[in-house]
Amino acid sequence: MEGSIAHPDPAARRAPLVRLFAALHAELRAAEAAATDASVASSLREFRRLLGSLDPGASPREPGGSRARLSVCRFWDESLREARGVPSGVVEALETLGPCLSWAQNPNYRRVPPDPSFLENYGYAVVAGPMDGPPALAIDPRLALGVLLLGPGAHYPLHAHPAVEIYYTLTPGGAWWLDDGPWRSEPPGTVIHHAPDVRHATRAGTSALLAIYLWRGELATHAKLAADRRAAG
C-alpha cells in the first residue's frame, strides 16, 4: 500500500507548525514542572529551549512529485480521531499537516524486520529535523520532531539509540517499556523521557498508536534492536 499524496503549498504550513510547536512547548513546560527527577527536568528544559527556537519558516526546497506514504498510513485518520485528552491545537495542526508529511522507516528494520508484519504496521514522519535526514517540513540541525504511527497490535520491540528522546502520547491503549520494565499503560498527553542508549519498547493496543517524538543529541544514528528482546515480548 505504499504510495504518495499531493502536498499543500509551503506557505499554508506555517500556521499549523506554529500552533504545534507552541502547544508542545506548553506541554513540556508542565512536564518539567511535574518531574521528580532533576536530570529529567533539566533534559525537558533543554528540549523546550530547542523547541522554542524552531523556525517554522525554515522550509527545505520543495521536491518534485508527491510525499511518500506507507502501508501504516491507512491508520492515520483513525488515530487522529482516537487522540483525546491532549490540546486540541496539537490534533488540529496534525490534521492540517498530514498531507505534507513524508513517511519513512528505520533502514535497520527494513533490512531485518522484527517480525513479518512489522513493516506493514510501522512508520514515522519528520515534522522538523536536519537537512540530511528524512524529509522534514522545517529544517533544524539540533532537534528532530515527528510522529510515530503503529497499527493495532503492533509490537516495536526493545531498541536503543544514542539520542535523548521524548515521546508525547496522543492515543489511548498503548503500552510502554523502559529498561527492565515492566510494561505500563500511559494515557494520552503523557511525556515519556528516554536517556541515551536506554532500552525501551512500545506496543499498540486494539487500536492504532500515535505519538509525537522529539530527539536531540546524536541525531544521525538510527535506533538498533536490543540483542535480548525477550523481557519485553
| 86-121: pLDDT as tens digits | 998 999 999 999 999 999 999 999 999 999 999 999
pLDDT in tens, 170-191: 999 999 999 989 999 999 999 9
pTM attached to this predicted model: 0.92
| 217 CB burial (10 A radius; 0-12, 13-18, 19+) | middle
State percent of the chain over pLDDT 90. Answer: 82
Helices of type H across 35-184: 38-52, 76-82, 88-97, 107-111
Q: Which helix (H) or strand (E) holds 29?
A: helix 14-34
Phi, psi of 55 (to 5 degrees): -105, 105
pLDDT at 45: 98
Q: Which domains does the chain have, with CATH numbers?
A: 3-225 (2.60.120.10)
Res 192 pLDDT > 80: yes
Work out the angle at residue 46's Cα, subtended by the Cα atoms of residues 35 and 13, and round it to the nearest 5 degrees. 110
Pairing, β 138-139 against β 122-129: parallel
pLDDT bin (cut points 50, 70, 90) of residue 6 is very low
Structure-block grid coordinates of residue 145 = 520532531
* Predicted local distance difference test score (pLDDT) of residue 85: 86
Helix (H, G, I), strand (E, B) or coil at 103: strand
Residues 6-31 as b or e (16 or more Cβ within 10 Å = b)? ebeeeeebeebbebbbbbbeebbeeb
- For 132-156, write each residue's pLDDT tens digit: 999 999 999 999 999 999 999 999 9
pLDDT at 5: 40
Residues 6+ apart with CB under 8 A from 64: none
Residue 200: half-sphere exposure toward Cβ, Cα within 13 Å = 21
* Geometric angle at alpha carbon 195, from 190 and 197, rounded to 5°: 130
74-95 residue pLDDT tens: 999 999 999 988 998 999 999 9
Task: Give rounded-to-5 percent helix, strand, coil for the chain.
Answer: 30, 25, 40
Contact assessment for residue 167 and residue 85, using Cβ atoms and an 8 Å cutoff: no
183: cell is: 510494561
